[in-house]
Structure 1
């Protein structure tokens, strides 16, 4: 079975994942813990790693079952077909989120266009192309995952 990406209403990711599980549909909504600050306190809250996205695994013939959930808007499409996420990519995300909260990052002066191998953190074993080098951060393109990663200096 394939993993598909479902686009949800804003801030409905966790609710949609719960509803889909109740319907017996296997889904994955990766969550991270962040510290949010209000005027009077700080609090740790779990927020989705990908805004408005939930991954679902189901047979191609049962794809319309996700629309039973109120917060589902549509499937994410790529080149005119529903976007398919490979099992290994889902496992990379799970592995990265199950790892330690902080990872050690060493800063090496990279140049724009350099192809580098990430050897620690949630995206270890991935290769990236340096797109931007700034005084405060690097911008890396992870072609295999189809995303852009912004890494701040510490």
Structure 2
């Protein structure tokens, strides 16, 4: 068999308000992708709003990046240190988990200083846990997911925090 490269998640930057079009094109090209959206109610209508405006995530081997680059409305990959930024599987899973389990999810940026390294864990590093909100770090994207959580869903078990049955 040929030397197959492992699949990795990459963030792709799209033209403004073109995330859905790009995702549809990826579907036609059989490129695995993820377009995280949150549902909002506006004027008695349910609409989808991107969690990360102008971003779509693709799951491809590095050798297939040309397929992504040649897609209409794709600006480029998101780069970090001269290379397309790789998003760890556990961070994609964390985004999916937050959108599935919580109604009010948003993204906040945190400042990353030059030379500062952020440790990542398999479940996500809790930045803040209060009686109504939980903030979890997505270090590869330089941001935090923030969710409103009913206090009845938060328990502390021997120093570990559990929210809605999930450990962080």
2:13 touches 2:56 (CA, 8 Å); kept in 1?
yes
Counterpart-to-counterpart distance in 1, 2:26 and 2:102: 29
- Matched position secondary structure for 1:3: strand
In structure 2, do the counterparts of structure 1 residues 3 and 151 end up closer, same or farther at CA, with 3 Å as the change threshold?
Answer: closer
1:90 and 2:85 aligned: no
Hey, what does 1:60 align to over in structure 2? 62
Hey, what does 1:127 align to over in structure 2? 126
Please report how far the alpha carbon of residue 141 of structure 1 lies from its aligned counterpart in structure 2 after TM superposition.
7.7
Counterpart-to-counterpart distance in 1, 2:65 and 2:11: 11
Counterpart-to-counterpart distance in 2, 1:5 and 1:143: 13
Report runs of 4+ in structure 1 exceeding 3 Å deviation: 148-152
How far does the alpha carbon of each residue in 1:15-47 deviate from its partner, in whole angstroms, 9 at most, with x for none? 1011011101100001110123xxxx4422011
1:129 touches 1:142 (CA, 8 Å); kept in 2?
no
Please report how far the alpha carbon of residue 142 of structure 1 lies from its aligned counterpart in structure 2 after TM superposition.
2.5
Which of 7, 13, 24 is 2:13 aligned to? 7
How far does the alpha carbon of each residue in 1:28-78 deviate from its partner, in whole angstroms, 9 at most, with x for none? 001110123xxxx44220111100000001111111101232110100001
In structure 2, do the counterparts of structure 1 residues 97 and 148 end up closer, same or farther at CA, with 3 Å as the change threshold?
Answer: closer
Hey, what does 2:156 align to over in structure 1? none
1:34 and 2:40 aligned: yes
Hey, what does 1:144 align to over in structure 2? 139
Counterpart-to-counterpart distance in 1, 2:145 and 2:103: 17
Hey, what does 1:45 align to over in structure 2? 47
Counterpart-to-counterpart distance in 2, 1:82 and 1:34: 31
TM-score w.r.t. length of structure 2: 0.62
Q: Which runs of 5+ in 2 are unaligned?
A: 1-6, 106-122, 151-168
Counterpart-to-counterpart distance in 1, 2:104 and 2:30: 34
Q: Which runs of 5+ in 1 are unaligned?
A: 104-123, 131-137
Please report how far the alpha carbon of residue 81 of structure 1 lies from its aligned counterpart in structure 2 after TM superposition.
1.1
